[in-house]
Amino acid sequence: MNKLLPNTLDTRQGFTLIELLITISIVAILAVVGISVFSGAQSSARDSRRLSEVLQLAKSIETAKDASKIAPGGGALSVAMAAGAGPYSYANVDLDRDFPSGRPSDPNSTAGREYCISTITAVAVNNTVNPNYIGVPNTVNAAGCPTAIPTGAGNTYSAWTAVTKAAGISVPAGTIGWVICASSERGTNPFCAASMWK
């Protein structure tokens, strides 16, 4: 009886080779696009955290400034200042107080990145501690700190010191100015903040 009925059903089983290859190609393209977008979003998120934490550290150091050591006239450095005469001092006890949930550190510290700080302890007459550091290329040394040391109107800053969870931070008592930076994953310049006293 079945032999007399027309064969109206499609009896093919599975997919053809062409269909499988097209499907696999589409999935592979979508996977590559998704991974690149996801990794870019992660880098941007880490950079946002770096910028936020550098600004928080800068505000904490600035808040701890000893206002009694600021010269009259808005704090302008119109006279020479000897080492140890500046208004800044910030140590690990201050860091732990200001960041009770944990010391800030670079979210990608396993790749050798750290936040870095440079200080200045003495200035000459009519010079400022305002660092000329904006626009410095984002090149880092082995410790993850910027390769260039900032300068402020002829005054030399100290070498970079890494700010880590273990070592913490050190702004010696009497520091006159400072710069704190973090390298950027997606940008060409580091994230930096500097002392407000000029």
**Residue 77 CB contacts under 8 Å (≥ 6 apart), including other chains:** 71, 123, 126, 127, 128, 129, 176, 197, 198
> What is the per-residue pLDDT for 186?
76
C-alpha to C-alpha distance for 141 and 138, rounded to whole angstroms: 10
Domain ranges of the chain: 43-194
pTM of the model: 0.71
Residue 97 has pLDDT above 90, yes or no: yes
Reported as a single tens digit per residue, the pLDDT across 2-52 is 555 555 555 567 778 888 889 899 998 888 888 777 777 888 888 888 889
| C-alpha separations of 83 from 45, 68, 90 in Å | 39, 16, 16
